[in-house]
Amino acid sequence: MKPLQGVRVVDLTRVVSGPVCTWFLASLGAEVIRVDPPGGDVTWRIPPWVGAGGEQWEAMGPDDIGISYLRKGRGKRSAVLDLARPEGLDAFRRLAANSDVLVENFRPGVMASMGLGYETLAELNPRLIHASITGYGSDGPDADLASMDLIIQGRSGLMAKSGFPDGPPVKAGATVGDQFPAALCALGIVAALRQRDIDGRGQHIDVAMLDSLVALLWDEPLDLYRDRGMPDRIGNGDPRGIVETFEARDGWVTLVITSDAQYERLAEHMGRPDLLELGPDIPTRAANRAAICEAVGVWMAGQAVDGLVARLHGIRVPAGAVASACAAADDPQIRHRQALGALRHPDASEPTRWLGPAFPVKFSRAGTEQIPAETLGASTRAVLQDIAGLTPEEIDRLQAAGVLG
């Protein structure tokens, strides 16, 4: 049993935010039907490609799956429909009429222009939950602007806060502008399903990438900054306390001091009782932050990372090594939690050497394991016949006309 077992989702998404959202839903047990145009979207064509015989970089074969979709397509069925054709649109409407959720990440107005807007589909299926992820939302003066992760990180204010004072604004290392809205959209869909359990009605969910990153930023006192002026970018630190990244002998170490007790233990461990006078409380430590961090930096500079972090943990001071992103594959804690797993091609006997993230939420009595991503269009005929209700003869005619790729 999985939490969303019995929920059918039509996935009409592209690139990152939408596919990640529907991957979350598939992980929770929803039946996710990915609808692609003939040839698939750009993620199908990103090498390396993996087929039953292994990986290759030369040219995509008919049963190959691009590495990006090999990750984001896990747990999903694959159907191909040409929505530029009236027959394809009709088949899609019949599919939506027999589904619980539709997720798309087109610009506002695109779905309506195809005759697939929420109001139109809700007439066919009043219980349908239609979720849209866009850059700026479904309305407002900039709703029609095209957007991507980097643009939203800049517009939201996130980039202006990231980086060092003597350098340019810096984006986050991960595509947070795509992936955080994806998580919020999945949360909204689960909430809408719960509301539908109560009143029997679907609704439209409107998730904007810009709104999502603004929500991340305003957990800080930005309104206070508006009065006093924004502080300079501070790199990996925080002007409100001893939060910083320090260079040790063989790498970098993160340190976060949030309480007086932690600071006292650190000063005693360093053999620097004078630091207690320099920062007896949070406001004083914030005022003397530069001098304290300089002292801590000098102390850490000659030490090896592993031993240093172990000693700091021993005195209950939060610290950690700065690891390469690739190091996650060998991290004992990450391996123990099975946070990464080998990707598989559905027709291959052995897993690939490529890794993909596991769904990061663990349940005490529900699994989140997923079947491998399907090859492009593998479930087209079954989906159209079993869910959309097309006859085999109708499907044959669509195939002959090129509507199914």
211 as an active site residue: the answer is no
For residue 261, give both structure tokens.
Answer: 């007790």
47 Ramachandran zone, left/alpha/beta (phi>0; psi -120 to 50): beta
Q: Catalogue the E-assigned strands of 54-203.
A: 54-56, 65-66, 76-80, 101-104, 129-134
Tokens 């998730």 correspond to 207
Decide if 386 contacts 21 (C-beta within 8 A): no
Rounded to whole angstroms, the Cα distance separating 191 from 260 reads 40
Q: What is the CA radius of gyration of the chain?
A: 25
Rounded to whole angstroms, the Cα distance separating 116 from 92 reads 9
Task: Say which of 11, 100, 178, 206 is annotated catalytic.
Answer: 178
For residue 238, give both structure tokens.
Answer: 């925080």
Q: What share of the chain is helix, strand, coil (3-state, %, to 5)?
A: 40, 15, 45
Q: Which residues are catalytic?
A: 178
